A and B are shown apart, each in its own frame.
Chain A
Amino acid sequence: MLEVFEADVVIVGGGGAGLRAAIAVAEADPSLTVALVSKVYPMRSHTVAAEGGAAAVTQPHDSLDHHFNDTVSGGDWLCEQDVVEYFVAHAHEEMVQMEHWGCPWSRRGDGHANVRAFGGMKIERTWFAADKTGFHMLHTLFQTSIKYPSIKRFDEHFCVDLVVEDGRAQGVVTIEIASGEFRLIQARAVIIATGGAGRVFRENTNGGIVTGDGMALAYRHGVPLRDMEFMQYHPTCMPRTGLLFTEACRGEGGFLLNKDGYRYLQDYGLGPAEPVPRNKAMELGPRDRLSQAFWHEKKQGRTIEGPLGSVVHLDLRHLGERKLRERLPQIYELAEEFLGVDPARTPIPVVPAAHYTMGGILADGKTASPLAGLYSVGECSSVGIHGANRLGSNSLTELIVFGKVAGVEAANFARSVASSKPADLKRQADAACERALNIVTRQGGTERIAVLRTEMASSMESGCGIYRLASDMRATCDKIDELKARYLNLHVDDHSKVWNTEWLLAIELGYLLDVAQAMVYSAIHRKESRGSHQRLDGFEQRDDINFLKHSLATFVAGGTPRISYGDVTITKSKPGTRAYGAEGEKAEAQRKLQGAARG
Chain B
Amino acid sequence: MAEAEQTIEIEVLRYRPEQDATPVVQSYRVPFTDDMSVLQGLQYIKDHLDGTLSFRWSCRMAICGSCGMMIDGKPKLSCKTFLREYQPARLRVEALAHFPIERDLVAGVDDFIVKLESIKPYLIPKEPRRLEQGEYLQTPHQLEQYEQFSSCINCMLCYAACPQYGLDSKFAGPGVLALLHRYNADSRDGGREQRMELVNAEEGVWSCTAVGYCSEVCPKAVDPANAVNQNKVNSAKDYFLRFLRPRGTSK
B35 touches A240 (CB 8 A): yes
Residue B154 lies at the interface, judged by CB distance under 8 Å to chain A: yes
Q: How many A-B residue pairs have CB under 8 A?
A: 154
Q: In the bound complex, how far is the Cα of B188 from the Cα of A338, in angstroms?
A: 36
How near does chain B come to A545, taking the closest CB pair, in angstroms? 43
Residue A67 lies at the interface, judged by CB distance under 8 Å to chain B: no
Q: List chain A residues, Cβ under 8 A from B188.
A: 102
A112 touches B186 (CB 8 A): no
Per-residue CB contact flags for chain B residues 1-38 toward chain A (1 = under 8 Å, else 0) read 00000000000000011110000000000000001000
Chain A 1-44 residues near chain B, CB threshold 8 A: 40-41, 43-44
Per-residue CB contact flags for chain B residues 122-145 toward chain A (1 = under 8 Å, else 0) read 110100010100111111101100
Residue A418 lies at the interface, judged by CB distance under 8 Å to chain B: no
Residue B106 lies at the interface, judged by CB distance under 8 Å to chain A: yes
Q: In the bound complex, how far is the Cα of B121 from the Cα of A325, in angstroms?
A: 27
A100 touches B136 (CB 8 A): yes
Q: List chain B residues, Cβ under 8 A from A330.
A: 63
Residue A498 lies at the interface, judged by CB distance under 8 Å to chain B: yes
- Taking A112-B137, A178-B102 as contacts, is the C-beta distance between A143 and B58 under 8 angstroms? no
How near does chain B come to A127, taking the closest CB pair, in angstroms? 10
- Looking at A95, A105, A106, A501, the one whose CB has the most chain B CB atoms below 10 A away is A501
Q: In the bound complex, how far is the Cα of B175 from the Cα of A43, in angstroms?
A: 14
B135 touches A113 (CB 8 A): yes
B102 touches A44 (CB 8 A): no
A99 touches B61 (CB 8 A): no
When C-beta atoms are compared, the residue in chain A nearest to B146 turns out to be: A104
B140 touches A99 (CB 8 A): no
Residue B52 lies at the interface, judged by CB distance under 8 Å to chain A: yes
Residue B198 lies at the interface, judged by CB distance under 8 Å to chain A: no
How near does chain A come to B33, taking the closest CB pair, in angstroms? 9
A111 touches B138 (CB 8 A): yes
Q: Kindly identify which residue among B46, B62, B143 contacts A107, using a CB–CB cutoff of 8 Å.
A: B143
Q: Kindly identify which residue among A132, A147, A450 contacts B63, using a CB–CB cutoff of 8 Å.
A: A132
Residue B147 lies at the interface, judged by CB distance under 8 Å to chain A: yes
Q: Kindly identify which residue among B17, B51, B113, B154 contacts A493, using a CB–CB cutoff of 8 Å.
A: B51
Q: In the bound complex, how far is the Cα of B17 from the Cα of A386, in angstroms?
A: 47
How near does chain A come to B172, taking the closest CB pair, in angstroms? 16
Q: List chain B residues, Cβ under 8 A from A208.
A: 57-58, 60
A109 touches B140 (CB 8 A): yes
Q: Kindly identify which residue among B54, B131, B137 contacts A501, using a CB–CB cutoff of 8 Å.
A: B54
When C-beta atoms are compared, the residue in chain B nearest to A144 turns out to be: B122
Residue B92 lies at the interface, judged by CB distance under 8 Å to chain A: no
Q: In the bound complex, how far is the Cα of B103 from the Cα of A496, in angstroms?
A: 11
Residue A209 lies at the interface, judged by CB distance under 8 Å to chain B: yes
Q: List chain A residues, Cβ under 8 A from B153.
A: 43, 48, 135
- Taking A49-B59, A100-B123 as contacts, is the C-beta distance between A492 and B51 under 8 angstroms? yes
How near does chain A come to B181, taking the closest CB pair, in angstroms? 14
Residue B64 lies at the interface, judged by CB distance under 8 Å to chain A: yes
How near does chain A come to B77, taking the closest CB pair, in angstroms? 10
B139 touches A499 (CB 8 A): no
Q: In the bound complex, how far is the Cα of B156 from the Cα of A75, in angstroms?
A: 41
Per-residue CB contact flags for chain A residues 315-339 toward chain B (1 = under 8 Å, else 0) read 0000000000000001001100110
Q: In the bound complex, how far is the Cα of B61 from the Cα of A202, in angstroms?
A: 17
B131 touches A107 (CB 8 A): no
Q: List chain B residues, Cβ under 8 A from A207.
A: 58-60, 64
Residue A543 lies at the interface, judged by CB distance under 8 Å to chain B: no
A499 touches B63 (CB 8 A): no
Residue B48 lies at the interface, judged by CB distance under 8 Å to chain A: yes
Residue A136 lies at the interface, judged by CB distance under 8 Å to chain B: yes
Residue B50 lies at the interface, judged by CB distance under 8 Å to chain A: yes
A102 touches B123 (CB 8 A): yes
B131 touches A93 (CB 8 A): yes
How near does chain B come to A328, taking the closest CB pair, in angstroms? 14
Residue B195 lies at the interface, judged by CB distance under 8 Å to chain A: no
Residue B66 lies at the interface, judged by CB distance under 8 Å to chain A: yes
Per-residue CB contact flags for chain A residues 486-500 toward chain B (1 = under 8 Å, else 0) read 000000111011111
Q: In the bound complex, how far is the Cα of B229 from the Cα of A495, in angstroms?
A: 48
When C-beta atoms are compared, the residue in chain A nearest to B17 turns out to be: A498
A101 touches B123 (CB 8 A): yes
When C-beta atoms are compared, the residue in chain B nearest to A98 turns out to be: B135
B54 touches A500 (CB 8 A): yes
Q: In the bound complex, how far is the Cα of B137 from the Cα of A505, in angstroms?
A: 46
Range for the number of chain B residues in contact with chain A: 35 or more
B60 touches A241 (CB 8 A): yes
B51 touches A498 (CB 8 A): no
Q: In the bound complex, how far is the Cα of B47 from the Cα of A301, in angstroms?
A: 35
Residue B234 lies at the interface, judged by CB distance under 8 Å to chain A: no
Q: List chain A residues, Cβ under 8 A from B109.
A: 41
Per-residue CB contact flags for chain A residues 69-80 toward chain B (1 = under 8 Å, else 0) read 000000000000
Q: Kindly identify which residue among A96, A132, A337, A496 contacts B18, using a CB–CB cutoff of 8 Å.
A: A496
Residue B150 lies at the interface, judged by CB distance under 8 Å to chain A: yes
Residue A383 lies at the interface, judged by CB distance under 8 Å to chain B: no
Q: In the bound complex, how far is the Cα of B57 from the Cα of A41, in angstroms?
A: 11
Q: Kindly identify which residue among B52, B65, B139 contacts A494, using a CB–CB cutoff of 8 Å.
A: B52
Q: In the bound complex, how far is the Cα of B3 from the Cα of A240, in angstroms?
A: 15
- Taking A144-B122, A208-B57, A209-B58 as contacts, is the C-beta distance between A49 and B18 under 8 angstroms? no
Q: List chain B residues, Cβ under 8 A from A139.
A: 150, 154
A146 touches B136 (CB 8 A): no
Q: In the bound complex, how far is the Cα of B100 from the Cα of A178, in angstroms?
A: 12
Q: In the bound complex, how far is the Cα of B71 from the Cα of A177, in angstroms?
A: 24
- Taking A496-B19, A498-B103 as contacts, is the C-beta distance between A48 and B64 under 8 angstroms? yes
Per-residue CB contact flags for chain A residues 333-367 toward chain B (1 = under 8 Å, else 0) read 11001100000000000000000000000000000
Q: In the bound complex, how far is the Cα of B50 from the Cα of A434, in angstroms?
A: 25
How near does chain A come to B224, taking the closest CB pair, in angstroms? 15
Q: List chain A residues, Cβ under 8 A from B137.
A: 110-112
Q: In the bound complex, how far is the Cα of B67 from the Cα of A48, in angstroms?
A: 14
Residue B151 lies at the interface, judged by CB distance under 8 Å to chain A: yes
Per-residue CB contact flags for chain B residues 61-82 toward chain A (1 = under 8 Å, else 0) read 1111110000000000000100
A106 touches B64 (CB 8 A): no
B63 touches A49 (CB 8 A): yes
Q: Kindly identify which residue among A44, A96, A497, A499 contacts B104, using a CB–CB cutoff of 8 Å.
A: A499
Residue A228 lies at the interface, judged by CB distance under 8 Å to chain B: no
Residue A577 lies at the interface, judged by CB distance under 8 Å to chain B: no
When C-beta atoms are compared, the residue in chain A nearest to B105 turns out to be: A499
Per-residue CB contact flags for chain A residues 60-73 toward chain B (1 = under 8 Å, else 0) read 00000000000000
Q: In the bound complex, how far is the Cα of B102 from the Cα of A500, in angstroms?
A: 11
A499 touches B54 (CB 8 A): yes
Q: List chain B residues, Cβ under 8 A from A112.
A: 135, 137
Residue B171 lies at the interface, judged by CB distance under 8 Å to chain A: no
How near does chain A come to B160, taking the closest CB pair, in angstroms? 17
- Taking A146-B117, A498-B16 as contacts, is the C-beta distance between A136 and B59 under 8 angstroms? no
The chain B residues found within 8 Å of chain A, CB to CB, are 16-19, 35, 46-48, 50-52, 54-66, 80, 102-104, 106, 108-109, 113, 116-117, 121-123, 125, 129, 131, 134-140, 142-143, 146-147, 150-151, 153-154, 179, 183, 186, 188-189
Q: Which 6 A-B pairs have the closest CB atoms?
A: A111-B137, A450-B47, A493-B51, A102-B123, A207-B58, A499-B103
The chain A residues found within 8 Å of chain B, CB to CB, are 40-41, 43-46, 48-49, 93, 95-97, 99-102, 104-113, 132, 135-136, 139, 143-144, 146-147, 155, 178, 207-209, 240-241, 243-244, 330, 333-334, 337-338, 448-450, 492-494, 496-502
Q: List 11 A-B contacts (CB under 8 A).
A: A40-B58, A41-B154, A44-B65, A100-B125, A100-B135, A107-B143, A208-B58, A243-B61, A337-B62, A450-B47, A499-B104
Q: List 8 additional contacts besides A44-B65, A338-B61; criterion CB under 8 Å.
A: A49-B59, A132-B63, A147-B122, A208-B58, A330-B63, A338-B80, A449-B47, A499-B103
